Amino acid sequence: MNQPNPVSRTSDNPLLADWLTAYGLPPFDLVRPEHFEDAFDVAMAAQRAELDAIANQAEPPTFANTLAALDQCGRLYNRIELLFGNLTVSETSAELQAVQRTMAPRLAAHENAIYMHAGLFARVDGLYRQRQQLALAAQDLRLLERVHLDFVRAGAQLSGEARQRYGAVMQELAAQCTTFSQNVLADENSFLLELKTQADLAGLPPFVREATHTVAVQRGLGENSHALTLSPSLTEPFLSFSARRDLRETVWRARALRGAHEGATDNRPVAARIMALRQEQAQLLGYANYADYELVDRMAGNTAAVLKLLNQAWGPAKAKAQEDRLALTAMAHDLGEPSPIEAWDWRYLAEKVRARKFDLDDAELKPYFTLDNMIAAMFDCARRLFGLHFVEQHGLSLYHPDVRAWEVQSADGTQVGLFLGDNFARPSKRSGAWMSIFRSQSGHQGGTLPIVINNNNFAKASPTLLSFEDVKTLFHEFGHGLHGLLSQVRHERLAGTNVLRDYVELPSQLFENWALEREVLQRHARHFQTGEAMQLALLDKLHAARRFNQAWATLMYTGPALIDMALHSLPHGTRVDIAEFEAEQCRLLDVPQDIGLRHHLSHFQHLFAGSGYAAGYYVYMWAEVLEADAYQAFSETGNAFDESTARRLLLQIYSAGNSQEPAQAFRNFRGRDPQVEAMLRKRGLLTN
């Protein structure tokens, strides 16, 4: 086969031309799905040539000619891969999905070729072995240690048949994970529940009716129609307010059964195959199971530490849930609802109990939480903490009309980066919320400024009103965004969110705390019709209710986290029936049937759409221990925006990337190791 000609393709492929756009954004208006395969061919060949040049140079390895050079190579490939990855989750199409299926194993093979490059690893390994004699700066030593670990964990020390088999395993894993995520999206898009009568809308407050009307119009059902998709921003309020128990059950089951239908989108055999491949991957690298492999590069370090943390919450949450269950059952009797209650009843009854106990319901809060006002609130918090200013930019060519862009400036007007917000649900976008980048911060050769994006899946309306959980999600993802924007490190491999997985959620979960600060809400939570600030009495009710139903939330999260650890702790060669395994784990854990699981294995994208959170769903609670303790540093000053604490937070956490061990970074900020009590108290599981 003839090799691709980079010169002929450069002239007509916008992915390979210089991106002479504002801020160096991708040329979204010019890019087509058919451009990617050729562009990847050229970019992969270019990166391999760069790597060969590093490996084959005559000079002995030094930090500059090997590690620094490695950190800077592959920029053409990286920018194309970041664009491709973002589009496939944010604005996909049948054509782009076809390219994704084709390219997934090829991109995995390319990454495998990098880490299996014997000449390159020999140079990295040689430097690593003499690292204590090199007198490297702390950040340079950190890069050397991290890159060496990257190579080892990717199989660089394998040889012979094991080396070949490892490459094949990684290619098939990439293909299977792509199939898994595309199947979930297909199942979500195939569901549409039309609410045809006023009886179908019973109990729904105006903001839910407005959102379901918008969906119906978007789906072509007519101006007087209402409809429901499986977007959490629709299903969660529907399950909280709908008086139609039969429809609540329909929606709950549809969400639970994503990826668990016979036919083309059945993810049960896909997940089973992913598990077999992961077991083999771990075995090839010398680990007893996949969890042991992943936890080598996590703060937790081993499964015992993970299980200790999760069980500290699981037992108390089950006990507290029993108290809550009695209150919900009493409410069901008062409303004439059947008992025992079911999982599709819990949110609905809990909302009724909250309204009675605290004189507060989500419908009362939502009019104060417009999306625009909450965006302004999070920007204001970033200004007061870190001196940042966000200046919206209009007229940029972006990949979808819903996407907005802001230039991020420091207090003196210096450009820090570009922030994109893509906040609305649509069929071309996967569910959930996440942060990503189109370009990383780097301090090399004058530096590059980051382009960071936050994705949410709010139900679009006029105006878009958020629940308080939506507000926390908005702040959470923005915490990730700030982690990427504020990065100030020399090496791209250490920049921004390139940190250990059970540390990466610290900046995001920590930032959620400012969403509940009274002065933030008094300033920005204003009624969408009257402009009136949220009254102190309503703020008091919101604060009083903040721990309500936390046992349910804890069990919904901790159950899947425990099942994740059990699944990925299975030894090599264990055949897994995903449905049977989940059912057995639910029995062993005694998962309450009327609460259930937030994620079932057939649609658990954290685990199976990629490896990032495999044997790692626990990381949210691990990071919650860190953030609950970290936020106390502000509470202890009596000022949520205390300047000296904010400066320390910026220096040690938000700008530091992976330039130091995370445990040490936390100690540098807090003055000690984290303590679990703050997290348990925050969840209402510890009262003293």
Give the residue among 297, 303, 483, 464 at the shortest CA–CA distance from 385. 483
Q: By the 8 A CB rule, do 578 and 602 touch?
A: yes
H helices of 387-490, in order, are 468-485
How buried is 190 (Cβ within 10 angstroms: 0-12 exposed, 13-18 middle, 19+ buried)?
Answer: middle
- Residue pair 640/519 in contact by the 8 Å Cβ criterion: yes
Query: Nearest to residue 96, comparing CAs of 77, 83, 113?
Result: 83
d(CA 629, CA 642): 16
Indicate if 477 belongs to the active site.
Answer: yes
* DSSP secondary structure of 232-248: HHHHHHHHHH---HHHH
- The CA distances from residue 644 to 385, 388, 627, 628, 666, in Å, are 10, 16, 18, 19, 16
User: What is the C-alpha end-to-end distance of the chain, expressed in Å?
Assistant: 71
Helix, strand and coil percent figures for the chain, each rounded to 5:
60, 5, 35
* Angle between helical axes of 303-335 and 343-358 (0-180°, round to 10): 70
Retrieve residue 154's tokens: 């990717």
DSSP state of 423: E
Catalytic residue among 477, 492, 505, 582: 477
Please give the backbone phi and psi of residue 571, each rounded to the nearest 5 degrees, phi first: -75, 165
Q: How many residues does the chain have?
A: 688
Cβ neighbours around 24 below 10 Å, total: 15
CB 51 within 8 A of CB 114: yes
Catalytic amino acids? 477
